[in-house]
Chains A and B, each alone.
Chain A
Amino acid sequence: MNISDIVFHSPALIVAIPLLGAFLTPLVAKINDKLRNIFAILIALITSVLVAILANDVFSNGIRTYVFGGGEPLVNNSYAIRILFEVDGMNAFMAIIASILTVVAIIYSWTFLKNHTGQDKYYTLILLMIAGMFGMILTGDMFNFFVFLEITSIASCALIAFYTNKGKAIDAGFKYIVISSIGALFILFAIGILYSQYNALNMAVLANSISFSFLDKIALALLISGLAMKAGIVPMHMWLPDAYGRAPSSVTLLLVGATQASLYGIFRITLSIFGKAFNTTGTVLKSATLTGDELIMVSSYPNVISIGWILIILAILTMIIGVLMALKQSNLKRLIAFAALAEIGYMLLGIGVRFASKYSEIVKMNNQEYIQIGFHGYDISALTGSIFHIINDALDIGLLFLVAGAIYIATKETSLNKLGGLARNMKYTTVFFIIGLIAVSGLPPMNGFASKLIIYESTFQLNPIIGIIAILASILLLAVFVKVLHSAFLGPKIPNLKDVKEVPKSMLFAMGIIACIIIIFGLFPNIVIDNIIQPAVNAITNHEAYIRGVFNGI
């Protein structure tokens, strides 16, 4: 088995190896606890290496498909009977995020859960959740997406209720499974509608044959509302603060990843599957020829603009409610959870602006064989900011949750009223918290600044009021976290917390990994955008390439 074989099989192996690891964990756990932890870390590392290999290949060679069971992707070049994984830049980008979160979460949970029972099942479920996340991210089949969505949600709701001695944790888990199973059933119903019309389940085949009929609109509404339930967008956000706040910190880190996998679903469905319907139905405003390339400016379809505005309104509500609720929380983890809600709003805002923009420009490259469709102007930069913000949000919010977990381990306290003066005894944790604070509130020189600036700029061009609301929400986030910094880390020492010790090294190491990535991203955002973000944006906007990736075969 040489390296090209590994690259070829990597889409399947990225999902199959965590699954195999999860199935083996109960057997490995019979031998030794330490061996089990090492085994879990090993599985995560192997998966991450495979993700790196795959991402490298996809960024340099373009879309890669994998057919389960062998054979050509399509029969008679018109319909797919087998399950396909289709990995383009966006999938690879999401897989990179998931792999970072995976490794950090497993390293962090080594000492975080030291004195708890049920760790065998904990590691099994963590690996299953990881497999589900990667499956959601990499799959190219609608029903397969639904199956992995269910794996992720079932594993995560069991993990949310890890502290079974607390009633609120169980309550959070129950809320999450109710919301997520209803959302998943909406998605399944929408898949049924799409299947009845096009007799296809494959995403690329659907994208090729979608006609945006009335039933398609219903299916789109059901898909977006189902995924919005899973992603915690505002009318259906009530599970999110509970679940994020009650779960163990290492699980919350992965929950952030699972939420973003659902957001990725919204991106993929609106931009790729419905991309053809959204982009070919507008009227041509003007056409010009520029250095051999024909440039056409097309007005967006009115329905698309209204979809965009619905998404923008939801995003603004998510941001405002998240920030305002975060201001009045006294429980540290719930506070960070509401901040995470606000951050989800920013990601949704970018895609909303993309659809709400009045026109888009399409470049027809006549000197090349295919038609490349690219977008210029603020809509594409909004999407860039939104996609860049996905990775930044995962890192920033993840780091803050890990710090909250570290504080809980050191002091056994989560209420801000009972904390104070931790900076003297927990130097490293304080430093990590300050890094997370600066990053999450979008201040230079951390990574949050770069992505939020792109979102502000593009949103301001669409409508200045929305841009101002986005900036205000960010300022309020800064206020929230400065309050936390002041009440938990600074100030006089509280007598109960005199002999607080720094957390163990493995937890510091896990936080350090994320902090390093945040600083690197913050110092060199242009390198990151050029190498990771731009391929993802190009891939997600180019629905033609997504369809071609399956239809011509590789």
Chain B
Amino acid sequence: MSIRNVIAAVFFSIVAIFLIFSALMIHPFGPDDNQEKFEMDEYIIQNSQEETGADNAVTGVVFDYRGFDTLGEATVLFTAVAGVMLIFRRLKK
């Protein structure tokens, strides 16, 4: 047991305690009647068809309301491709 293992074990148990507590304390799975809690999502469900024109509300969110996130997501993929090609490049000209 090196000091590294001890630190790792402490770190792991702290994270484990945090995550288990968060799982126990978060709101119950599948809430049904407290609609006022989800105003943002309710707004999107009610208005996305009119505002974005898309039948699929998730696509409305992905490409319209949060379109900039999707640009970032596409950029992540672009970055990964560029990175893979950079690392697998030929070293000699």
Residues of A within 8 A of B (CB): 19, 22-23, 68-69, 75-76, 78-83, 117-118, 121-122, 124-125, 128, 131-132, 135, 143-144, 147-148, 150-151, 154-155, 157-159, 161-162, 164-165, 170, 189, 193, 196-197, 199-200, 214-215, 218-219, 221-222, 235
Question: 3 tightest A-B contacts by CB?
Answer: A158-B83, A147-B72, A121-B86
Interface 1/0 per residue, B12-30 and A, CB below 8 Å: 0000001101100111000
B1-43 contacts to A, CB under 8 A, are: 7, 11, 18-19, 21-22, 25-27, 37-41, 43
Known: A79-B43, A118-B89, A218-B21. A154 touches B80 (CB 8 A): yes
Do the beta carbons of B75 and A128 come within 8 Å of each other?
Answer: yes
Q: Are B89 and A199 in contact (CB under 8 A)?
A: no
The answer to whether A150 and B67 touch (CB under 8 A), given A121-B82, A218-B18, A222-B18, is: no
A19 touches B82 (CB 8 A): no
A58 to chain B, nearest CB (A): 20
Known pairs A79-B43, A147-B69 / 11 extra A-B pairs, C-beta < 8 Å: A19-B71, A68-B67, A83-B67, A83-B69, A117-B91, A118-B86, A124-B82, A125-B79, A150-B72, A196-B26, A197-B27
Report the minimal beta-carbon distance from A128 to chain B, rounded to whole angstroms: 5
CB within 8 Å for A218 and B22 given contacts A19-B71, A69-B65, A122-B86: yes
Q: Are B18 and A128 in contact (CB under 8 A)?
A: no
A150 to B79, CA, bound (A): 10
* Majority-rule SS of B interface residues: helix
Q: Which residue of B lies closest to A68 (CB)?
A: B68
Interface centre among A68, A189, A222 (most CB of B within 10 A): A68
Q: Is the interface of A mostly helix, strand, loop or mixed?
A: helix
Chain B positions within 8 Å of A, measured between CB atoms, are: 7, 11, 18-19, 21-22, 25-27, 37-41, 43-44, 64-69, 71-73, 75-76, 78-80, 82-87, 89-93
Contact with A157, one of B21, B69, B83 (Cβ below 8 angstroms): B83
| Also in contact, A144 and B43, with CB within 8 A (given A121-B82, A151-B79, A164-B89) | no
State which of A128, A164, A200 has its C-beta within 8 Å of the C-beta of B40. A200
Q: Flag if A215 contacts B25 (CB, 8 Å).
A: yes
Check A193–B22 contact: CB distance below 8 A. Answer: yes
User: Given the known A-B contacts A68-B67, A148-B72, are A121 and B91 also in contact in the complex, defined by CB atoms under 8 Å?
Assistant: no
A158 touches B86 (CB 8 A): yes
Contact of B79 among A122, A154, A235 (CB under 8 A): A154
Bound complex: CA A161 to CA B88 (Å): 11
Minimum CB distance partner of B93 in chain A: A117
Chain A residues within 8 Å of B71, by CB = 19
Check if A164 sits within 8 Å of B91, measured CB to CB. Answer: yes
Give the chain B neighbours of A82 by CB distance below 8 A. 65-66
Inter-subunit contact A125/B83 (CB<8 Å): yes
Q: Which of the listed residues A135, A155, A162 has the most CB atoms from chain B within 10 Å of its own CB? A: A155
Closest to A154 in B: B79
Q: In the assembly, what is the distance between CA of A425 and CA of B30, in Å? A: 72
Partner of B72, one of A79, A121, A125, A135: A135
A117 touches B90 (CB 8 A): yes
Nearest B residue (CB) for A82 = B65
Q: Which residues of B contact A235 (CB under 8 A)?
A: 7, 11
Query: For B40, what are the chain A residues with a Cβ–Cβ distance below 8 Å?
Result: 79-81, 199-200
A22 to B75, CA, bound (A): 9
Quick check: A199 and B37 within 8 Å, CB to CB?
Answer: yes
Taking a contact as CB atoms under 8 Å apart, the answer to whether B85 and A121 are in contact is yes
B89 touches A121 (CB 8 A): yes
List chain B residues, Cβ under 8 A from A144: 68-69, 72
A471 to chain B, nearest CB (A): 28
